[in-house]
Structure 1
Amino acid sequence: MGSRSTFSRGLALLVAATFFMENLDATIIQTAAPAMARDFGVQPADLSVAMVAYLLAVGVGIPATAWLADRFGVRVLFLSAVVVFTVASLLCALAPTLGLLAAARVLQGIGGALMVPVGRLAVLRAVTPTDLLDAMAYLTWPALLAPVVAPALGGLLADTVGWHSIFLVNLPIGVVAFIAGLILVPRSAERRRVPFDGWGFALVAGALVLVTAGAEVVATSSGVAAVGGAVAIAAGVGAGSLGAFVMRRREHPLFDGSVLRIRTFRVANVSGAFYRLMIVAAPFLFTLLFQVVFGWSAFGAGLAVMAVFIGNVAIKPVTTPLIRRLGFRRVLVWSNIVGGVILAVFVAVGPTAPLPLLLALLFVSGVVRSIGFSAYNTVQFVDVPPDRTNAANTLASTLQQAATALGLAIVAVFVNLGTWAAGEWTGTPLLGYHWAFVLAALTLVIPLVGALTLPADAGRHAVRRA
């Protein structure tokens, strides 16, 4: 007879719901932008300031979560984050100008930055290694489902009851989450009163802001602006490196970099960052190919790419049993190999390719994406001791935020380089996109090498049932 589960499914579902809410609001403005622009008297493109403000605020808030959780406790911080996010959502709905909307989005982003990693920490602190896979399965689906739902939901609400409702839907969710949190999030007497590493925070938060803003510019601009974005990314990497150097000399650093000595954590968050980067980038690359080269409408390209996310969701019920059967190393190795092969196959795909073939490739890409994403999200914590979970969780969240921000920028660079070179040689962008897929496939060699360095039995205590 199997042992009884040691983690609270109610708590995991609560945290997953707040994850979903935060992920949803990161992108829901996109399809509502025209309606919002009309009310504010601006151009739809100007609404990007509200989206970027949210992402920048998330980048600023995440590095402080470990210290705040130690100082005030997970329960207090999580409930406070839910309140901040919910109140900020109301302020977004009531904002009469774009400037005030952007300000409210900053507040909302700070709430989201605290809500996500602190919520995950609440689950991790209560779970044993043998239940980690099941617990992380609950926390993975929001990141896979929200990008599918957000554009459709944002457009539907904006076209029917008005754009204000895209923020108002958070109010009942936030109220229910707060009440549920009072019941489900355990109290903890643990407190650590250590000095706040202001220099470390300034450098790391500044690095995330520069990388996020620079990536947004590179992904959406060209010419001098794109060069400026690249310079911002380079400055962000420099600030982050300086922050790492400074924190090594602190008695109480913002991040405990020693967790990177744990092999499974290091592989999941260093080489694995390139896998997450491609998770963000691949759907964007597919969409660009279908619209720019194949000449499809935005709606048609969006429907086709839905096959990626259908694959994400369809495989979820068997992901955990698959990882238990094959082990983390084998799953990660094959996720990178198959994912790279699928990207490489698109080198042979042109405008005349049969639609069923395209949809099948996209579906399989989504399946592999989901399996690998779940394995990386779980293996990063399998060997982290309980007293270092907070430090590992915050460092992982920060590195993942940077990888997410860089995803679209990297694809934009691949496409721009490929199409420029192809245009010089053939005058057609198709070859350039083919080269972009080659570069994307080669990027997965980095996490593949990292996965191969894991021992065959990596995380065995998390895949074995008592």
Structure 2
Amino acid sequence: MSDQIYHAPLARRAAPNFRVIAMIVASAMLMENVDATVLATALPTMARDFGVDAPAMSIALTSYLLSLAIFIPASGRVADSFGSRTVFRSAIAVFVVGSILCAFAPSLPFLVLARLLQGIGGAMMMPVGRLVLMRSVDRKDMVSAMSWLLVPALIGPIVGPPLGGFIVTYLDWRWIFYINVPIGIIGMIFVSIYIDEVKGKAAGPFDTIGFILSGISLGSLLFGFELSSHEGQVSLSIFLIAIGLLFGIAYLRHARKHPAPIMDFSLMKVPSFGISVIAGSLTRITQGAQPFLLPLLFQIGFGLSAAAAGQIVISTALGALFMKPLAKAVFRRVGFRRSLIINGILGTIGYGLCAAFRPDWPMPLIFIALVLSAFFMSFQFTAYNTIAYDEIGQERMSSATSFYTTFQQLMLSLGICIGALALHASMAFNGVETPELGDFSTAFVVVALISISATIWNLRFSPTAGAEISGYKAK
């Protein structure tokens, strides 16, 4: 079992409400998610200030991805060594310092270095934040806590673009980074007050070789997937994905011999965790494709302005919020297995319905369809994120959270890749240079078919899986 280090009782509240802890973690993650999407909107303006071409600014996004790829796998081990509260608080601090440096960046190379530092903070915030929640919340409250955690991941990509447009239009692009400072400082204060320090026992020496191999593999894969959605970068994308796969194979060979690999694939033998990783990965491909395909559909296919498209896409954030209070009651009544099977099918149908969207559809109908689609998807990810840790002991929790977060980030990027490839393949088949409505329909159908395949894995969950967490009693 893990060693726990507690400060004097007067230093902070002994048993804070789980919602407080969930909101602290969720706020840090929202800061990170919004930052990434806001920046994408401001890149043309930043390119003008730095005196470079707009496409050259993409390195500001990919440098952040590089830090994520390298450091997420190591996050669990770092949290075990220094304590989850210390690492989470430090991660927020590093992210804030990186944000300040980004705001003061006089040139593109300086910005890239600042983004690398920011990415180190982000890489630790995601998995360690989840680890903090796992170690601080009772099992009976886990579903509700996870519902809160899911909101930033869904709202961030939606709120980011319109917020970025507002900042670039009415303020200075540097405010994109300044707004992280007060949020981060408040977050660090609340972490110090409400979250306990918990350390884990090291299972063996630090896996330096595995750290290098996994970093090269994951970095290449993330870059490759990201570049696949950019015109003229297909060859480089394929090359990077090939490099990522080769180093991934090398890592797997290495991990079999190391006593404490940086990414512990033996976790996949734990039934609830392994099934959740596979089924959740298939579903996250759809979730990753959605923020890429929907704005393009509304702007190119429907001819709407960016602002109008953004207003429609806000519907997905509303669906996620509506789901939050209902998840726990549903799991208690029908259990995780049945919920995942039924809801997974409904969610995929809802997302596949996007393939039928046409400009002559009433906008309120499209808005309602997207709210329902997001509702089902949000419910599904709450289930996966919770059931994954049902059979994981405290001594392996840090390894499990870093492993799960790594695949989560990878699959969201892969979703963009598959959505872009399906769209471009349909365009090539139809002989058009600009995507038409039929091309978008093809892309939505492709990602929906991938998502529905998760049902095969959902059927493999035990009928009593997560019963202790949900309170469900199988008949």
Q: TM-score, normalised by structure 2?
A: 0.91
Alignment of 1:61 with 2:83, yes or no, is: no
- Looking at structure 2, the residues matched to 315 and 45 of structure 1 have their Cα atoms a distance apart, in angstroms, of 38
Alignment of 1:421 with 2:429, yes or no, is: yes
Q: Give 1:392's aligned residue.
A: 400
Q: Give 1:280's aligned residue.
A: 288
Post-superposition shift, 1:393? 0.7
- Going from structure 1 to structure 2, the CA distance change for 1:345 and 1:140 (only over 3 Å counts) comes to closer
* Larger displacement relative to structure 2 (431-440 or 161-170): 431-440
Q: Is the 8 A contact 2:285 2:411 kept in 1?
A: yes
- Going from structure 1 to structure 2, the CA distance change for 1:292 and 1:243 (only over 3 Å counts) comes to same
Q: Give 2:440's aligned residue.
A: 433
Q: Give 1:404's aligned residue.
A: 412
- Going from structure 1 to structure 2, the CA distance change for 1:353 and 1:193 (only over 3 Å counts) comes to closer
- Looking at structure 2, the residues matched to 343 and 415 of structure 1 have their Cα atoms a distance apart, in angstroms, of 16
Give 3-state SS (helix, strand or coil) of 1:173's partner.
helix
- Looking at structure 1, the residues matched to 419 and 258 of structure 2 have their Cα atoms a distance apart, in angstroms, of 37
Amino acid corresponding to residue 55 of structure 1 in structure 2:
L
Give 3-state SS (helix, strand or coil) of 1:140's partner.
helix
- Going from structure 1 to structure 2, the CA distance change for 1:339 and 1:134 (only over 3 Å counts) comes to closer
Q: Is the 8 A contact 2:84 2:199 kept in 1?
A: no
Post-superposition shift, 1:449? 0.9
Aligned counterpart in structure 2 of residue 266 of structure 1, from 271, 274, 289: 274
Alignment of 1:77 with 2:87, yes or no, is: yes
Q: Is the 8 A contact 1:70 1:193 kept in 2?
A: no
Q: Is the 8 A contact 2:161 2:310 kept in 1?
A: no
Q: Is the 8 A contact 1:26 1:55 kept in 2?
A: no
**Structure 1 segment 63-462 matched on structure 2, within 5 A:** 63-188=73-198, 190-192=200-202, 194-222=204-232, 225-423=233-431, 429-462=436-469
Amino acid corresponding to residue 471 of structure 2 in structure 1:
R
Amino acid corresponding to residue 352 of structure 2 in structure 1:
A
Q: Is the 8 A contact 2:267 2:400 kept in 1?
A: yes
Q: Is the 8 A contact 1:60 1:205 kept in 2?
A: yes
- Looking at structure 1, the residues matched to 372 and 319 of structure 2 have their Cα atoms a distance apart, in angstroms, of 6
Percent identical among aligned pairs is 36
- Looking at structure 1, the residues matched to 53 and 28 of structure 2 have their Cα atoms a distance apart, in angstroms, of 31
Q: Is the 8 A contact 1:283 1:308 kept in 2?
A: no
- Going from structure 1 to structure 2, the CA distance change for 1:428 and 1:260 (only over 3 Å counts) comes to closer
Alignment of 1:13 with 2:23, yes or no, is: yes
- Looking at structure 1, the residues matched to 407 and 279 of structure 2 have their Cα atoms a distance apart, in angstroms, of 11
Post-superposition shift, 1:62? 0.2
- Going from structure 1 to structure 2, the CA distance change for 1:351 and 1:233 (only over 3 Å counts) comes to same
Q: Give 2:8's aligned residue.
A: none
Give 3-state SS (helix, strand or coil) of 2:73's partner.
helix
- Looking at structure 2, the residues matched to 243 and 447 of structure 1 have their Cα atoms a distance apart, in angstroms, of 26
How many residues are matched?
Answer: 459
Amino acid corresponding to residue 387 of structure 1 in structure 2:
E
- Looking at structure 2, the residues matched to 392 and 189 of structure 1 have their Cα atoms a distance apart, in angstroms, of 15
For structure 1, the 5+ residue unaligned runs are none
- Looking at structure 1, the residues matched to 435 and 179 of structure 2 have their Cα atoms a distance apart, in angstroms, of 45
Q: Is the 8 A contact 2:146 2:382 kept in 1?
A: yes
Post-superposition shift, 1:191? 4.5
* Larger displacement relative to structure 2 (103-112 or 190-199): 190-199
- Looking at structure 1, the residues matched to 451 and 402 of structure 2 have their Cα atoms a distance apart, in angstroms, of 25
Q: TM-score, normalised by structure 1?
A: 0.92
- Looking at structure 2, the residues matched to 393 and 84 of structure 1 have their Cα atoms a distance apart, in angstroms, of 20
Give 3-state SS (helix, strand or coil) of 1:456's partner.
coil
Post-superposition shift, 1:105? 0.6
Post-superposition shift, 1:288? 2.2
Amino acid corresponding to residue 211 of structure 2 in structure 1:
F
Q: Is the 8 A contact 2:21 2:194 kept in 1?
A: yes
- Looking at structure 2, the residues matched to 189 and 329 of structure 1 have their Cα atoms a distance apart, in angstroms, of 33
* Alignment RMSD: 2.3
- Looking at structure 2, the residues matched to 9 and 306 of structure 1 have their Cα atoms a distance apart, in angstroms, of 24
Q: Is the 8 A contact 2:335 2:472 kept in 1?
A: no
For structure 2, the 5+ residue unaligned runs are 1-14
Alignment of 1:32 with 2:42, yes or no, is: yes
- Looking at structure 2, the residues matched to 386 and 254 of structure 1 have their Cα atoms a distance apart, in angstroms, of 17
- Going from structure 1 to structure 2, the CA distance change for 1:189 and 1:456 (only over 3 Å counts) comes to closer
Q: Is the 8 A contact 2:38 2:176 kept in 1?
A: yes
Post-superposition shift, 1:202? 1.3
Deviations 1:67-98 (A, max 9, x none): 21122221222222122111111111111111
- Looking at structure 2, the residues matched to 189 and 344 of structure 1 have their Cα atoms a distance apart, in angstroms, of 44
Q: Is the 8 A contact 1:418 1:435 kept in 2?
A: yes
- Looking at structure 2, the residues matched to 177 and 405 of structure 1 have their Cα atoms a distance apart, in angstroms, of 27
Q: Is the 8 A contact 1:214 1:233 kept in 2?
A: yes
- Going from structure 1 to structure 2, the CA distance change for 1:157 and 1:386 (only over 3 Å counts) comes to same
- Looking at structure 2, the residues matched to 433 and 13 of structure 1 have their Cα atoms a distance apart, in angstroms, of 36
Q: Is the 8 A contact 2:210 2:254 kept in 1?
A: yes
Deviations 1:198-231 (A, max 9, x none): 1211121111111111111111124xx2132023
Amino acid corresponding to residue 202 of structure 1 in structure 2:
I
- Looking at structure 1, the residues matched to 453 and 248 of structure 2 have their Cα atoms a distance apart, in angstroms, of 21
- Looking at structure 2, the residues matched to 175 and 451 of structure 1 have their Cα atoms a distance apart, in angstroms, of 41
- Going from structure 1 to structure 2, the CA distance change for 1:227 and 1:34 (only over 3 Å counts) comes to closer
Post-superposition shift, 1:294? 2.8
Q: Is the 8 A contact 2:70 2:216 kept in 1?
A: yes
- Looking at structure 1, the residues matched to 331 and 381 of structure 2 have their Cα atoms a distance apart, in angstroms, of 11
Q: Give 2:471's aligned residue.
A: 464
Post-superposition shift, 1:16? 1.4
